[in-house]
Amino acid sequence: MAIISLALKSLLNRRFTASLILVSIALSVSLLLGVERLRVESRNSFANTISGTDLVVGARSGAINLLLYSVFRIGDATNNISWNSYKKFSENRMVAWTIPISLGDSHRSFRVMGTNRDYFQYYRYAQKRSLTFHQGQPFDQVYHAVLGYEVAQQLNYRVGQKIIIAHGAGKTSFTHHDDKPFEVVGILSPTGTPVDRTIHVLLQGIEAIHKDWVAGRQVAGRKISAEEALQKDLTPKAITAFLVGLKSKIATFKVQREVNNYRKEPLLAILPGVALQQLWDLMGVAENALLMVTVLVVAVGLIGMLTVMLAGLNERRREMAILRSLGARPGHILLLVTGESMVLSLVGVTIGLLLLYGSLLLTQPFVESQYGLYLPITLPSLREWFMLGLVGTSGLLIGLIPGYRAYRYSLADGMSIRI
């Protein structure tokens, strides 16, 4: 303890240099933990988005693309699938339930999804948790809408409010279906998934607002009011995708094969878990590269500490000699310098950990609102503790290098004056 106390006093005497070392270590540790937390929570967020769904069916494209646009609302579908094809597979004797999905419209940059009431009954997330309502109830009329929790919070919407849907899924739209407003009848409880950033309406509502549209454009002179649209046949002609729940898991591959071999229309059925693993494999290279860069940043911080300590040894030769003259042994000098390195490493790691939590506290709302990624403020995981221990141990081992050099300085060498 006396050596640690002496090391602390020595560092306080050189507080400016020590502060620079601490800043370097703290920033590198914070970056390392931040990248690790971002990697883990992004995976958890994706994995928790969908649960209990056996198959996702859409137009034939890539498995990852189908998963991204149908479940995570990222990107757009290459094509739609016909309503007749959907009805055929929804009536399959091995199918327990289906949830149709129609995408393509938006409201103030939030996606609008057409579906039916089965969505609230069968959709599951995060270990088969059901959707619940924070306010209101499910839609039961054509011009009703149910908001995700984040949509309501960001736009300050309440039950009973009217909203206008825009054509297209871009952040900026110059075409609005302002003649057919939707009434908010429900707000879902927060889920930490893309559901929170989605506006849900009936499939018939999507059909109604496009009754006077052809090929993505409103037909001139063919204006159909909201009331007139209700008198039309609002059976969907096409949807974007649909989720499938089967009566038995054994039938999964059989139904998947039937969908993929369907001759009337090119369809693709994917297993969400398998497609998600393919996504991780694709992202694995980028994750590892980012982690390696972060590790190198930590290494640079530790090497910077080594460089500063080695450079300062020559200035401290007289200090070491005085300590030796007062009875300190070479081993004490070794412990002193190594103790300084250990103190710097531990304090730097602690500050880095506090900096991480401070950053999470400040950026959590922004990251969640802009990227849909929830970063919980929790205690470090075992992997993160291991990383912290590794950084601290590395700092201690690095301190042995200047410690050994100081150990070799003799009393006569320290007291002599070099010209």
What are the tens digits of pLDDT across the range 386-416? 988 888 888 888 878 877 777 666 444 555 5
Label residue 4 by pLDDT band (50, 70, 90).
Answer: low
Q: For the chain, give the mean pLDDT.
A: 83
Residue 292 pLDDT > 60, yes or no?
yes
Confidence (pTM): 0.73
Q: Which of 19-28, 169-178, 368-377 has the highest mean pLDDT?
A: 19-28
Q: Say if residue 287 is in the same domain as residue 265.
A: no
Q: How far apart are CA 340 and CA 5, in angstroms?
A: 10
Q: What is the mean pLDDT of residues 274-287?
A: 83
Q: How far apart are CA 158 and CA 178, in angstroms?
A: 19
pLDDT value of residue 238: 92
Residue 214 pLDDT > 90, yes or no?
no
Strands 198-202 and 110-115 come out as: parallel
Q: Say if residue 21 is in the same domain as residue 159.
A: no
Q: How far apart are CA 198 and CA 185, in angstroms?
A: 14
Please calculate the CA angle 263-265-271 and round it to the nearest 5 degrees. Answer: 95
H-state helical runs in 14-62: 15-49
Q: How far apart are CA 172 and CA 186, in angstroms?
A: 25
Q: Say if residue 208 is in the same domain as residue 256.
A: yes
Q: How far apart are CA 31 and CA 352, in angstroms?
A: 8
Q: How does DSSP assign 60-110, residue by residue?
A: SS-HHHHHHHHHS--S--S--EEHHHHHHHHT-TTEEEEEEEEEEEEETTE
Q: 270, 290, 313 — which closes off a domain? A: 270
How many CB atoms are located within 10 Å of the residue 35 CB?
A: 17
Q: 270, 290, 306 — which closes off a domain? A: 270
Sequence-separated (6 or more) residues with CB below 8 Å from residue 121: 97
Please calculate the CA angle 327-2-326 and round it to the nearest 5 degrees. Answer: 15
Strands 182-188 and 144-147 come out as: parallel
User: Per the domain annotation, does 371 fall within a domain?
Assistant: yes
How many CB atoms are located within 10 Å of the residue 316 CB?
A: 21
Q: Say if residue 347 is in the same domain as residue 393.
A: yes
Q: How far apart are CA 99 and CA 58, in angstroms?
A: 12
User: Per the domain annotation, does 275 fall within a domain?
Assistant: no
Nearest one of 121, 137, 124 to 50, comparing CA atoms: 124
**CA–CA distances in Å: residue 88 to residues 72, 84, 96, 250:** 25, 6, 13, 20
Q: What is the mean pLDDT of residues 215-239?
A: 77
DSSP three-state, residue 397: helix
User: Per the domain annotation, does 27 fall within a domain?
Assistant: yes
Q: How far apart are CA 338 and CA 82, in angstroms?
A: 72
User: Per the domain annotation, does 133 fall within a domain?
Assistant: yes
Residue 245 pLDDT > 70, yes or no?
yes
pLDDT value of residue 324: 61
pLDDT value of residue 419: 47
pLDDT value of residue 327: 64
Q: Say if residue 171 is in the same domain as residue 63.
A: yes
Residue 222 pLDDT > 60, yes or no?
yes
Does residue 302 contact residue 308 with C-beta atoms inside 8 Å?
Answer: no
pLDDT value of residue 172: 53
pLDDT value of residue 241: 95
Q: What is the mean pLDDT of residues 375-387?
A: 85
Nearest one of 416, 405, 408 to 311, comparing CA atoms: 405
User: Per the domain annotation, does 187 fall within a domain?
Assistant: yes
User: Per the domain annotation, does 199 fall within a domain?
Assistant: yes
Q: Say if residue 338 is in the same domain as residue 386.
A: yes
pLDDT value of residue 169: 63
Q: Say if residue 258 is in the same domain as residue 113.
A: yes
Q: Say if residue 149 is in the same domain as residue 258.
A: yes
DSSP annotation of 195 reads: G
Tell me the HSE value of 2 on the side-chain side, using a 13 A CA sphere.
3
Residues making up the chain, counted from first to last: 419
E strands, 189-237, in order: 198-202, 213-214, 217-218
Tens-place pLDDT, residues 134-185: 999 999 999 999 999 999 998 999 999 999 998 776 555 557 777 889 999 9
| Ramachandran angles phi, psi of 59, nearest 5° | -65, 150
Domain count, the chain: 2
Q: 235, 270, 305 — which closes off a domain? A: 270
Q: Supply the range of the domain harboring residue 106.
A: 55-270
Q: Say if residue 7 is in the same domain as residue 84.
A: no
Nearest one of 166, 134, 159, 124 to 144, comparing CA atoms: 159
pLDDT value of residue 18: 78
Label residue 2 by pLDDT band (50, 70, 90).
Answer: low
User: Per the domain annotation, does 21 fall within a domain?
Assistant: yes
Label residue 321 by pLDDT band (50, 70, 90).
Answer: low
H or E stretch including 215?
none
User: Per the domain annotation, does 276 fall within a domain?
Assistant: no
Q: Say if residue 10 is in the same domain as residue 69.
A: no
Q: Say if residue 200 is in the same domain as residue 64.
A: yes
Q: Read off the amino acid at residue 80.
A: N
Q: Which of 45-54, 209-218, 348-357 has the highest mean pLDDT?
A: 348-357
Q: Say if residue 169 is in the same domain as residue 128.
A: yes
Weakest-pLDDT range from 40-44, 265-269, 369-373: 369-373
How many CB atoms are located within 10 Å of the residue 343 CB?
A: 20
